[in-house]
Amino acid sequence: MTVLNIENVSKKYQLHQKGNSNDDLRDTLTRWSKNILKPSSKKSKTEEFWALKDINLEVKQGDRLGLVGANGAGKSTLLKVLSQITEPTTGIVRVKGRMASLLEVGTGFHPELTGRENIFLNGAILGMHKSEILKHFEAIVEFAGISKFIDTPVKRYSSGMYVRLGFAIAAHLEPEILVVDEVLAVGDADFQKKSIGKMRDVSNSGRTLIFVSHNLTAVQGLCDKGAYLRGGELIKYGKIDEVVNEYVKTVSKFQLKQNWATPEEGPGNEQVRIKSISLLSNETIVRDNFDTRTPLKMTFEYWNLMDSAELNVSLFLYSMTGECVFNIGDDAKIYKKGIVSSECLIPGDFLNDGSYYISVMIVKDRLAPVYFFEDALAFDIIDYREGTDWYGKWPGAIRPKMISINSVQKELL
Amino acid sequence: MDAKERIITAQKSTTDYIKEIWDYKELFWILAKRDLLVKYKQTILGIGWSVIRPLITMIVMAFAFGKIGKLDTNTAIPFTLVVAPGVIVWLFFSQSLMALSQSIVLNSNLVTKVYFPRLIIPLSTIFLGLVDVLISIILFFIICIYYQFIPDWKIILVPVFIVMTFLSTFGIGLISAVLNVKFRDIGQLIPFVIQFGYFVSPVGYLTASVKATGNPWFYKLFVLNPVTGCIDALRWCMLGDFAKFNWESFIPVIVFLVVTFFISIKFFRKHENSFVDHI
């Protein structure tokens, strides 16, 4: 059954010529008066910007649709149209069933009101009836873990408590279609786990989920269908893995190479300057993307501007969420003024699928950081698996094959 | 749960629109309750402020216009009672207009994040003003007891004229709320209008005194002020046979009310879906 039908939806924004988005009263009045005085004169030119161009999508009951695309691709605009926050300029959206949008956690919380009062306020804003809120009240307080502070104004809450309460309310909504935007971007790891778990519950119970996130791993783990938007247009719609692949391939937001021609241009300081850094697949077969099997080779070069210094390089690999997966360094050596080149091999079948970024630090005398080159590289590793019928998100920061489990049949009963 | 189809498009029918507002009545109550709770949070007197404000205003008005301006010499009833209807209307009008004009902007966190019929916001905002009116009217009766003044049968018409005041305030307030989303000039203009509005409405004096000045043009302009009509009507029904019914100020207010009410709703509906693009 189709629960959501988006037909030829477009959304136009007016950009003012001056580049002044806040049109003031004077401008409007002068425009009016000009038009009255000279009716034949052309209307003042405003530039049009199409945030969405002719989007057609059909979402079936139980679908878990992930919207992917770069910033400004129109994902949030589409969610806003679906949530009825802004109306489409043209086109029609047909929705069957109750839809709830979670564009942020704790929408409409009033700082002066107590936790209890805010539960009712936020619940009503999200479209819950009083009886529903009452039914879930205890569970909400329990889930948020704030029972002691339920009668304290939320302005005295810690930010963690605030977010937990907001999410707890949203988690007890029972819509047929749930629209979620980047809620995962806030909160600590525990909270993210909780919220992903809650969304998985929603989708497992046969309800429809529409999810927007820049975290491709989360999108792939949660959704079965994907829609890739670029410049307001729908580029691809289909199975999530294909859509994500397409997205990763076409969008070069991944920084796989940086280089500078002269020491003056390169980032750094009087002691060292970065020359180049790159990440390549270290195998003969060329694939479009890195997947979990691909061995990687990182090459790093810098200018040492000191006459003679004992230096070593330290590499940090971070996951998307900012956790450091590993940090390794080489042995310190004395280098003369000139270019120093380093190479690092990351074996295949080692990292888990997900987004990663690399920072490099140059260290002097084995203790003093000379320069920290942050976010030097960014890349994605795509899931690849065989020998399993399970396609859930593979947990863990790494997925090493070098650690293996051996099982044998020992005794027959 | 309703399985009916909802259509999101650039147009919506009026019946659907009204029905939808009705569906969101719970949100209306909770927003009104929120505003009421928040208004007096961290105050010692709490709701007592809703009594003190009209009371002190009436006393000061009666003193300034009655004793200093010597307007109380030819009135048969205590001047505090004469200014009471004026103060009730004026406080409601000024505070509601101020709150309404800011209502959408102040609730931008809701407007940009969730859907509901936007009309709920101004409706719940003005509701708070009605609570204050109710308190002021109770206060009026207490003052009546104090002065041993007995209003006649016309007192039952008070709700009618309160509704009239409500509708004329709502119309103009709604238009300013919409305009204020795009042009924050409105937020500057309204406190300024309210500041001198006191003097061009018969709050502390009577419309009859304006007529008595003998300048017909000034009087004609004066009765066009919708607040004048509301105060005159309320004074007529609250103060027994003290004041005559003034058709000259009543007709303009009815015309004003009907015109602004329909225009404002239409204007609001036209713009409510693009609030988020301008806020």
Q: What's the pLDDT band for A313 if we cut at 50, 70, 90?
A: very high
Q: What's the pLDDT band for B5 if we cut at 50, 70, 90?
A: low
B7 assigned to some structural domain: no
- Asked whether the predicted pLDDT for residue A136 surpasses 60, the reply is yes
Per residue in B245-258, pLDDT tens?
Answer: 888 888 899 999 99
Nearest by CB: B8 against A25, A84, A96:
A84
pLDDT at A344: 93
Per residue in A295-308, pLDDT tens?
Answer: 999 999 999 999 98
**What's the domain count of chain B?**
1
CB contact under 8 A, A125 and B116: yes
Interface test with A, best of B114, B185, B272 (most A CBs within 10 A): B114
B136 assigned to some structural domain: yes
pTM: 0.69
pLDDT at B3: 43
Q: What's the pLDDT band for B58 if we cut at 50, 70, 90?
A: confident
* Most confident option among A238-252, A348-362, B5-19, B65-79: A348-362
Paired sense of beta strands A46-60 and A99-102, if any = unpaired
Q: Where in chain A is the domain with CATH 3.40.50.300?
A: 2-250
B214 assigned to some structural domain: yes
- Asked whether the predicted pLDDT for residue B183 surpasses 80, the reply is yes
Q: State the smallest CA–CA distance between residue A27 and chain B in angstroms.
A: 10
CB contact under 8 A, A108 and B110: yes
Place of tokens 């948020």: A144
**DSSP letter string over chain B?**
----EEEESS---HHHHHHHHHHTHHHHHHHHHHHHHHHTTT-SSGGGHHHHHHHHHHHHHIIIIIIIS--STT-SS-HHHHHHHHHHHHHHHHHHHHHHHHHHHHTHHHHTT--S-TTHHHHHHHHHHHHHHHHHHHHHHHHHHHHT----GGGGGHHHHHHHHHHHHHHHHHHHHHHHHH-THHHHHHHHHHHHHTTTTTSSS-HHHHHHT--HHHHHHHHHSHHHHHHHHHHHHHSTTSS---HHHHHHHHHHHHHHHHHHHHHHHHHHTTHHHH-
CATH code linked to domain A257-381: 2.70.50.60
Q: What is the mean pLDDT of residues A370-398?
A: 81
> What is the extent of the structural domain holding B126?
14-278
* CA atoms of A340 and A311, how far apart (whole Å): 10
Per residue in B98-151, pLDDT tens?
Answer: 999 999 998 888 888 888 888 899 999 988 888 889 999 999 889 888 888 888
Q: What is the mean pLDDT of residues B177-182?
A: 90
C-alpha closest to that of A267 among A297, A298, A303, A299: A303
Place of tokens 């009509």: B229
Alpha helix locations (H) across A172-263?
189-204, 216-222, 240-250
Q: What is the mean pLDDT of residues A226-231?
A: 89
* CA atoms of A134 and A119, how far apart (whole Å): 10
A112 touches B at CB < 8 Å: yes
Q: Where in chain A is the domain with CATH 2.70.50.60?
A: 257-381
In this structure, of A75-84, A263-272, B177-186, B209-218, the range with the lowest mean pLDDT score is: B209-218
pLDDT at B90: 92
Third-level CATH fold of A2-250: Rossmann fold (3.40.50)
B9 assigned to some structural domain: no
pLDDT at B61: 86
**Which residue of chain A has the CA closest to B187?**
A25
Nearest by CB: A121 against B3, B30, B111:
B30
CB contact under 8 A, A126 and B3: no
Identify whether the C-beta of residue B234 lies closer than 8 Å to the C-beta of residue B93: no
Question: Distance of alpha carbon A261 from its chain centroid, rounded?
Answer: 33
Q: What is the mean pLDDT of chain B?
A: 85
CB contact under 8 A, B9 and A88: yes
C-alpha closest to that of A161 among A141, A134, A177: A141
B8 assigned to some structural domain: no
Per residue in B147-166, pLDDT tens?
Answer: 888 888 888 888 999 999 99
Interface test with A, best of B1, B2, B9 (most A CBs within 10 A): B9
Residues of A in contact with B31 (CB under 8 A): 121, 124
- Asked whether the predicted pLDDT for residue B219 surpasses 90, the reply is no
pLDDT at A252: 47
A88 touches B at CB < 8 Å: yes
B165 assigned to some structural domain: yes
CB burial of B221-233 (b: ≥16 within 10 Å; e: otherwise) equals ebbebbbbbbbbb
* CA atoms of A405 and B47, how far apart (whole Å): 71
In this structure, of A180-194, A258-272, B171-185, the range with the lowest mean pLDDT score is: A180-194
* CA atoms of B187 and A14, how far apart (whole Å): 24
pLDDT at A19: 42
